[in-house]
Amino acid sequence: MTAKNDKNGLRAGNNSIVIGGSVQGSNIVVGNNNKVSNQSINIAPLFDEIYKKLDAKQDIKSEDKNDVRAELQEIQTALEEPTPDETFLARRFRNLKRMAPEIAEIAFETLKNPVGGVTEAVKRILKKAAEETAAGVK
C-alpha cells in the first residue's frame, strides 16, 4: 500500500477512505471518484451452468438441444442489455418451456437465485435417482 495522502498524521493508500472529525448528519458516497458504478452482473457463469445441465440431459435429442441452446443464448443476450425487453424474454421463456420444461425451470431457478438453481437441479437429480432405484434401474 503506497501512501498518497498525508494530512495531520493520517496516511491513506489507494482507494482508501479517511474521515476526520464528526460526520454526524453527513452523506458519505463511496465509489470511484465519488461516482457510483452501475456495472451489470456477470450472468455468463450462470448460463454456463445451465448449458452444462442441458448437455447432461439424456432425454433431449441432439437437434432439440441445439434449439434449446439457441433460445438460452437469446435469453442471455437479452439479459445482458441495460434494459432487457420483458416481452421478448417472456416469448423466449415460453418457447423454452415448450421445448424443454425441466431446463426452463432450472434456468428460472438459476437466474432467480444462483444457489437455488443448483439446489433445484440437485433435487431433480435425487428424485430421478430415487425413482430409478425404486423401479430397479441401476
Q: Own/partner pairs for 69-75, CB < 8 Å, 24+ apart? A: 71/95, 71/96, 71/99, 72/47, 72/96, 72/103, 72/107, 75/107
State the amino acid at position 104 in one-letter form: A
Q: Please tell me the distance from the alpha carbon of residue 56 to that of residue 25, in angstroms, as a whole number.
A: 56
Q: CA dihedral defined by 84, 35, 31, 37, rounded to 10 degrees? A: 10
Contact 51, 68 (CB under 8 A): no
The C-alpha cell of 138 is what? 441401476
pLDDT band of 56, cuts 50, 70, 90: very high
The pLDDT value given to residue 137:
53
Each residue of 23-37: pLDDT tens digit? 565 555 555 554 443
CA-closest candidate to residue 73, choices 50, 98, 39, 105: 50
The whole-number pLDDT of residue 65 equals: 94
pTM (global) more than 0.85: no
How many Cβ atoms from other residues are within 10 Å of residue 120's Cβ? 19
Asked if pLDDT for residue 74 goes beyond 90, the answer is yes
- The model's pLDDT over 75-120, given as tens digits with 9 standing for 90+, comes to 999 888 888 888 898 899 999 999 999 999 888 888 877 655 555 6
Give the range among 8-17, 56-65, 95-104 with minimum mean pLDDT: 8-17
In this structure, what C-alpha cell is assigned to residue 123? 433435487
pLDDT band at 38 (very low <50, low <70, confident <90, very high): very low
Give the lowest-confidence range in 12-26, 34-48, 72-86, 124-138: 12-26
Using a pLDDT cut of 90, give the percent of the chain over it.
30
Alpha-carbon Rg for the chain in angstroms: 24
